[in-house]
Structure 1
Amino acid sequence: MNKARNDIQAVQVDAVKPVEVAPGVIRRRLPGPGRADGWLYDLVPGIEWPESDLHEGLARSYYVLFGEITDEHRELGPGSYLVLAPGDPFRPRTTTGARLIGTSTPA
């Protein structure tokens, strides 16, 4: 991670340490502004998020970089952007594999 003037941060996402948070779900934590968190998720083909992902105090947004994900209500492909209010459930699954980038911000 490189810090420049004004605390601007730049990072090569594939150089960030990957952590397997569930079988087939890899997370990389990214810098975020202020109290926001950034992250990148790689989902292997054929996985479903282990449980419904609920965050009562956080607003979250996801952008699908590649692959396709589905949940109970939506099919999202490359270029799709999803915004979840605090407490909105999200349990993605994928047959193709997918890469998502997103943020979470305290409500």
Structure 2
Amino acid sequence: MGQWQGTKELSAVQALPVDEWSPIQVGQGCTRRDLPSVRGVRVWVVDMAPGAQWPSIDHHETGESYYVISGEVIEGDARYGAGTYVSFAPDSRHQPRTETGVRLIGLNLGTAAFLAAGGSSESITHCYHPTQG
């Protein structure tokens, strides 16, 4: 697993070569790297091989946002290429796929962080999964 690098003088600054962080296989052709972050915020990098589809429909009680670093992701009939920021509302569902391959960096808020940021508890209809923040 990758290690954060830093010095005593710059303890507030951490740098991580993302490709050195251990990927988690989440489905055929789909990996995720869960990156260290502040409490309540889940930050991750997803790589999907050409022709891959996320293995299940993702449900995000507090929403989800990602930035397409390279390649193209397909959400329903919409295609988003490199340089595109995509944001899903609270209680949304999606199942991304790709024909070309794609790398995304994204984030989710935990329930407490979502509510502290002004999110509505009425928009959270299911229990927040503890692995998401």
Partner of 2:121: none
In structure 2, the partner of 1:54 is 59
Deviations 1:20-42 (A, max 9, x none): 11111011111222310111000
Greater gyration radius = 2
Q: Describe the superposition over 1:77-98 as per-residue Cα deviations: whole angstroms up to 9, x where unpaired.
A: 0000011122111211101000
Structure 2, unaligned stretches of length 5 or more? 115-133
Q: Which has the higher helix share?
A: 2
The normalised TM-score by structure 2 is 0.73
Q: Read off the aligned partner of 2:41 and give its amino acid letter.
A: A
Structure with the largest fraction of strand: 1
Q: 1:34 to 1:48 in 2, by over 3 A?
A: same
Runs of 4+ in 1 over 2 A off after TM superposition: 2-9
Tell me what 1:103 maps to. Answer: 107
- Whichever residue aligns with residue 43 of structure 2, its letter is G
Corresponding residue for residue 5 of structure 2: 2
Which of 26, 34, 54 matches 2:39?
A: 34
User: So what's the TM-score if we normalise by structure 1?
Assistant: 0.89
Give aligned pairs, total: 106
More relative contact order in 1 or in 2 (CA 8 Å, sep 6+)?
A: 1
Identical positions, percent: 38
